[in-house]
């Protein structure tokens, strides 16, 4: 993995994720160069410096975008707003859950993202998914294929620290759209806007979220009701398989990074084994799951595992994992594959250092993983469609 900040895995992961999600190396370098000394102080200490530097970059791009928009150059403005949202979203992700300006920063991300949609990606729209008396915020990418009738759709869930804005910047929805598939990018409870602005915390029984997403999609006349799949990355590698085991209206499922026993990972992290995804890690984890006590949370976290669960998956199941994942052991990918005996088509794809995408969810070569998953999903939907004829 490209390591801009030697020895600081967490900051490096943010940089690489940004670069592989539409960021430009010159802009990232200009933001990071002034904070190299801050990075050397450790993953937690310099996060306000990180936000300040990347906010300055965001401000610069927004000024350029406003000038382009005023000149009538809508696409140029849209691209600038999209990159600005990407940079600010990554900087927001690095902040403490207790940082006083975190919510304001995220609200600005939402505003920038909407400007990018309006000017650059008119086929993307903001939607609200009814969920237990409230809603789950989401973005819907309508594939061009939907102009000619109902199209397959993938529900996309994030993980512990990502947001639907990260899913947008990854471009995975665009790869799916090019293959005739729409995408519903959802801020699940415990993530993104659902957590930050609505206070919805994560839960073990993720089939409740899946049911809400499927119910919503079935209200749309541009969705093929028999071709609804689910992909989850990082902690979504637990969320998605768990949901598919119990929500039988799903046609296929993808674990973008196996997360077979997330509770065991937390116990290892207490012993400083393995890498962490974000600074201020335990504050973030407690925020996501709605706990005040670390001891109570660790006891609870033992429930977040897929033993006895993946055996119930009865649809095609892809597990994509990096051979060099420093957060989630490769052995968990093998365990999910070995236990998913009821899946009619299960596949384990391990990405190696020789090809790239070997780090956590392939962030070191994200497009490589994204296109592989998109191809697999398209192939599975085609086979399922053929079998219905």
Per CATH, the architecture of 123-389 is what?
3-Layer(aba) Sandwich (3.40)
The beta-strand segments (E) located in the chain are 124-131, 134-141, 151-157, 182-186, 223-233, 252-256, 317-322, 346-351
Q: Which CATH class is domain 1-122?
A: mainly alpha
Q: State the pTM of this model.
A: 0.97
pLDDT given for residue 95 in this prediction: 94
CA distance 326 to 142: 35
The per-residue pLDDT for range 57-108, each reduced to its tens digit, is: 999 999 999 999 999 999 999 999 999 999 999 999 999 999 999 999 999 9
Is pLDDT above 80 for 389? no
| Domain boundaries defined on the chain | 1-122, 123-389
CA distance 222 to 267: 44
The per-residue pLDDT for range 300-328, each reduced to its tens digit, is: 999 999 999 999 999 999 999 999 999 99
Task: Say whether 123-389 and 1-122 share the same fold.
Answer: no
Kind of pairing between the strands at 134-141 and 124-131 = antiparallel
Q: What angle do CA 349, 353, 358 make, to 5 degrees?
A: 55
């Amino acid at each position: 993995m490209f390591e801009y900040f030697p020895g600081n895995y967490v900051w490096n992961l943010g940089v690489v994720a940004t670069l592989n999600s539409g960021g430009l190396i010159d802009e990232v370098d200009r933001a990071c160069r002034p904070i190299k000394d801050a990075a050397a102080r450790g993953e937690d200490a310099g996060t306000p410096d990180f936000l300040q530097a990347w906010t300055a970059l965001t401000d610069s791009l927004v000024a350029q975008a406003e000038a382009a928009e005023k000149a009538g150059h809508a696409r140029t403005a849209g691209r600038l707003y999209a990159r600005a949202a990407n940079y600010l979203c990554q900087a927001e992700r690095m902040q403490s859950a207790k940082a006083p300006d975190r919510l304001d920063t995220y609200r600005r991300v939402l505003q920038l993202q909407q400007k990018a949609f309006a000017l650059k990606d008119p086929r993307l729209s903001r939607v609200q998914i009814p969920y237990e008396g409230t809603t789950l915020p989401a973005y819907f990418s309508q594939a061009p294929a939907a102009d000619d009738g109902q199209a397959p759709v993938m529900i996309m869930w994030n993980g512990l620290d990502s947001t639907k804005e990260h899913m947008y910047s990854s471009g995975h929805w665009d790869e799916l759209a090019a293959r005739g598939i729409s995408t519903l990018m959802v801020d699940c409870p415990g993530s993104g806007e659902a957590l930050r602005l609505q206070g919805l915390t994560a839960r073990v029984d993720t089939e409740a979220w899946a049911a809400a997403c499927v119910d919503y999609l079935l209200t749309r006349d541009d969705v093929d009701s028999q071709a609804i799949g689910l992909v989850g990355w990082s902690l979504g590698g637990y969320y998605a398989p768990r949901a598919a085991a119990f929500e039988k209206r799903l046609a296929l499922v993808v674990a973008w990074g196996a997360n077979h026993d997330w509770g065991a990972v937390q116990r290892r992290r207490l012993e400083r084994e393995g890498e962490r995804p974000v600074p201020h890690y335990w504050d973030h984890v407690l925020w996501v799951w709605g706990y005040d006590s670390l001891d109570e949370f660790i006891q609870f976290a033992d429930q977040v595992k897929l033993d006895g669960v993946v055996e119930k998956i009865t649809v095609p199941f892809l597990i994509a994992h990096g051979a060099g994942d420093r957060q989630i052991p490769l052995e968990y990918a093998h365990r999910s594959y070995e236990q998913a005996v009821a899946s009619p088509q299960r596949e384990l794809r391990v990405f190696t250092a020789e090809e790239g995408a070997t780090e956590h969810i392939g962030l070191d070569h994200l497009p490589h993983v994204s296109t592989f998953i998109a191809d697999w999903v398209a192939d599975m939907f085609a086979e399922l469609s053929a079998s219905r004829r």
